[in-house]
Amino acid sequence: MTWKVRPVTLAVSAVPTARAEAAPLPLPEVPTVAGARLLVPLVDGTRVGYANLDHAASAPCLDTVRDAVDELLPWYASVHRGAGFASQVSTKVYEQARDVLRRFVGARRTDTVVFTRNTTDSLNLLARAVPKGTSVVLFDTEHHAALLPWRGPNVRRVEAPATAAETVPALEAALRRCPEGPRLVVLTGASNVTGELWPVAALAEVAHRYGARVVLDAAQLAPHRPVRIGELGVDYVAVSGHKLYAPFGGGALIGRADWLQAAEAYLVGGGATAQVVDHGDRLGVAWSAVPERHEAGSPNVVGAHALAVACETLSANWDAVVLHERALFRRLRAGLASVPGLRALSLFEEDGDRVGVVSFTVDGIESGLVAAVLSAEYGIGVRDGAFCAHIATRRLLGRVGAGEQRAVRVSIGLGTTAEHVDRVVAALRTLVADGPGVAYAVVDGRWAPVEDTRPLPPFLA
């Protein structure tokens, strides 16, 4: 299938505002990101400033993080067991990062901080560490990182109700059916599909009333709002560096130490062992205490440092960050509401609190084609698909009567400007009114321009 070619009549550099009365936003000054001046090629041979509206997938690197990594790299060396001065510096950096993460989420004095690769890694680690026979309760709309590690006869998946308030009695009913023994509730802080905030504190209160612990998937929440263990009443928090403007392969699981201390090492190897003895027919292994027990191999000191610097930067700027994103998000939602045939997805009430994520479909235009047009003709990066939350996305698509199994997701953050928001709204309005500006076809399962001459950057040439 291809689209009929039409002349491109909307220049990206002169995209009109979403509404005639829209004016430049008095946005607060927020931390800057690498790539803010990135130019990307369009199919017409021109270049335009990149509008990164895919923060929910991976956020750009903060300038403070990039500078901190550059400062560390000359000192990079082995961690924990090196006698050299550079090794001592790297070890100090790595362990200080734990303290920063602890403060970032308001962890208790007895909580541990285990460095991981990302939220997925953190939740898989906890899934391996829960006591045998633990009953696990979670809502079925979770991201796959929080959904898939928990499978088997002891797992109870609760269908997410239509309102946030109804989640509390739904969770209580599920916990009431759990047998005696250890229990764990898995919660999401903010939906990666709709951006809606879950009532974590209320759900955690119910969980504790029934003797359950709570782990919070904060991947989408932590980059946008403060996360405090005590205020939310959770027992564990999982975060990802690549969502927190620190894309250097670092993440963390922060929370109660006892289950992690009692568990076998998540990975086996150097660093996780206090002692290994040869008994001839077998090896005798004494595992290290947490957190080292679950950090086998050479630690990612650069990733840990980057994550810590990002957390410090956000902590010092929360008021500005929240105001910046709320102003842009109001502008985005108002603009999208003006696009004919656009259907936004919601788990709960339309007026519920959200971070800057909107997923939607456009009547008569496949979501993959929408994303391809935005990229090729307007220099806008968005995401299309089911967002690693297939159950949630498909259920929401059914609610709005969409005829496909995919949606478009626009997500904002510190790299977003008012011009980016206005550009995507204007581009969608033009696409709905006039169709694509060049011919498109499905190539290797994805929509792409039939003649795509956009050059790759020189380092890939």
**Cα–Cα dist 123/174, whole Å:** 21
Give the mean pLDDT of 383-388: 96
Q: 229-264, pLDDT tens digit by residue?
A: 999 999 999 999 999 999 999 999 999 999 999 999
Residues 99 and 160 in one domain: yes
Q: Quick one: how far is CA 290 from the chain centroid? A: 26
Token code pair at residue 58: 């991976």
Residues sharing a CB contact under 8 Å with residue 311, sequence separation 6 or more, in sequence order: 100, 101, 103, 104, 244
Amino acid residing at 114: V
Averaged over 375-379, what is the pLDDT? 98
- Same domain for 125 and 110: yes
Residue 23 has a pLDDT of 56
Look at residue 5 and tell me if it is in a domain: no
Domain boundary among 315, 349, 379: 315
Q: What is the pLDDT of residue 22?
A: 52
Same domain, 256 and 164: yes
* Contacts for 184 with CB less than 8 Å, ≥ 6 apart: 130, 134, 135, 136, 137, 212, 213, 214, 215
Distance, CA of 129 to CA of 238 (rounded, Å): 14
Residue identified by tokens 């969608």 is 428
Tell me, yes or no, whether 433 and 447 share the same domain: yes
Where among 297, 315, 333 does a domain terminate? 315
Q: Mean pLDDT highest for which of 16-30, 390-404, 437-451? A: 437-451
Helices marked H in 117-216 = 119-129, 144-147, 167-176, 200-209
User: What is the rounded CA–CA span in Å between residue 66 and residue 245?
Assistant: 10
- Please compute, for residue 225, the number of CA atoms within 13 A of its CA located in the half-sphere on the CB side: 19
pLDDT at 17 over 60: no
Q: Is 1 domain-assigned?
A: no
> 15 pLDDT exceeds 70?
no
* Strand duo 183-188 + 155-158: pairing: unpaired
Q: Are residues 219 and 324 in the same domain?
A: no
Q: What is the largest CA-CA distance in the chain?
A: 80
Give the range of the structural domain holding residue 68, as residue numbers without chain letter: 64-315
Looking at the DSSP assignment, which residues form a beta bridge with residue 135?
Answer: 183
Mean pLDDT on 386-403: 90
The model's pTM: 0.93
Active site residues: 388
Q: Look at residue 222 in the predicted model and tell me its pLDDT.
A: 98
**What mean pLDDT comes out for the span 373-392?**
97
Q: Which amino acid is at 3?
A: W
Domain shared by 335 and 267, yes or no: no
Q: Which residues contact 198 (CB under 8 A, 6 or more apart)?
A: 164, 167, 187, 188, 189, 190, 191
Residue 94 in any domain: the answer is yes
> How much of the chain, in percent, has pLDDT values that exceed 90?
87
- Same domain assignment for residues 33 and 121: no
424 part of a folded domain: yes
CA distance 374 to 358: 16
For 91-103, the pLDDT digits (tens) are: 999 999 999 999 9
| Burial letters 51-75, b for 16+ CB under 10 A, else e | bbbbbbbebbbbbbbbebbeebeee
Q: How high does pLDDT run on average in the chain?
A: 93
Kindly state whether residues 310 and 323 are assigned to the same domain: no
- 18 has pLDDT over 50: no
> Measured at the alpha carbon of residue 207, what is the angle toward residues 141 and 218, in degrees to the nearest 5?
50
Between 431 and 13, the more confident residue is 431
Asked if 69 and 50 sit in the same domain, the reply is: no
Beta bridge partners of residue 185, listed in sequence order: 137, 214
Same domain, 307 and 184: yes
Instruction: Indicate whether 14 pLDDT > 70.
Output: no
- With respect to residue 6, please indicate whether it lies within any of the assigned structural domains: no
Task: Round to whole Å and give the CA distance between 339 and 330.
Answer: 15
pLDDT score of 280:
87
CA–CA distances in Å: residue 432 to residues 129, 336, 364, 422: 50, 12, 9, 16
pLDDT digit string (tens) for 151-186? 899 999 999 999 999 999 999 999 999 999 999 999
In a domain, 351, yes or no: yes
Helices (H), 267-352: 301-315, 318-337
CATH number for the domain spanning 116: value is: 3.40.640.10
Residue 7 lies in a domain: no
- What pLDDT is stored for residue 359 in this prediction? 97
Does 9 score more than 60 pLDDT? no
Last residue of a domain, one of 315, 345, 364: 315
Does any domain span residue 4? Answer: no
Same domain, 324 and 274: no
Domain of 349: which CATH number? Answer: 3.90.1150.10
If you average pLDDT over residues 270-278, what whole number do you get? 90
How many folded domains does the chain comprise?
A: 2
pLDDT digits (tens, 9 = 90+) for 311-354: 999 999 999 999 999 999 999 999 999 999 999 999 998 888 99
54 and 106 part of one domain: no
